[in-house]
Amino acid sequence: MPIISKQILEKAEKMKGEIIGSSLKTDREFIIEEEGREGLKKVEEEMEKIGYPLKYEKIDKYKWYPIQQDFLSLYLTQKIFNWDIEKVREWGRWGAKTNFIIKLMARMVNKDTISKLSSKYWRRYYTVGEIEFKLNYKERKGTAIIKDFIIYDVHAHFLEGYFYQIMCLMFPSKNLKVEREKIKGEDMCEFILSW
């Protein structure tokens, strides 16, 4: 029985754009941390089977790769190891925790500046889509809206964890929450942030 359906593959083939290699390298490190090098090999073998070969060891962190490799590797990793939603969110949190630039910005840059720079930061990782990040300090809420970028459930859960960790660095709080509000079509997704 195939791990990935023909419908998912067809949707992935329609995705446009690229992702920077450093992001794929971060995914590699998490997989090794959780499942070991043998686990990483399983993901590589499944990527090869579906026609999207991805040899994590050979990834150049400064090179751009087809965006399908990001989505499909997230999807396959979750399926192969039967990771639940919370594990995928943990993966996202780990990605933000291990990113030096994010940690530096969250500690040294004004929160309003971070909101304004979010679209530039997004562009360092993806050649498509855009992010709109807004904070309302009075209501202790914010939104992160991703537009013109196809997001599937596994990626949305990853981003919930990623945004949660960024918010932890900006607003240490026991009440911190990041929830996907709704998908406003296939290429738009909104996350509600509260602290």
Kindly report, residue by residue over 95-147, the tens digit of the pLDDT: 988 876 666 666 666 777 777 778 888 999 999 999 999 999 899 999 999 99
Strand ranges inside the chain, DSSP E: 18-20, 64-66, 130-136, 141-147, 177-183, 188-194
Look at residues 85, 70, 87 and name the one whose alpha carbon lies nearest to residue 35: 87
Same domain? 188 vs 109: yes
Instruction: Report the percentage of the chain scoring pLDDT > 70.
Output: 92
- DSSP codes joined into one string, 142-169: EEEEEESS---HHHHHHHHHHHHHHHHH
Q: Distance (Å, rounded) from C-alpha 160 to C-alpha 145?
A: 12
CA distance readout (Å), 79 to 18, 46, 57, 84: 23, 11, 22, 9
The answer to whether the pTM exceeds 0.85 is yes
pLDDT tens figures, 41-72: 999 999 999 999 999 999 999 999 999 999 99
Give domain status of residue 134, yes or no. yes
The residue out of 22, 49, 83 marking a domain boundary is 83
Domain that holds residue 32: 6-83
- Domain count across the chain: 2
Q: Is 183 helix (H, G, I), strand (E, B) or coil?
A: strand
Same domain? 130 vs 186: yes
Q: What is the pLDDT of residue 100?
A: 62
| Token code pair at residue 130 | 């855009």
Q: What is the pLDDT of residue 119?
A: 84
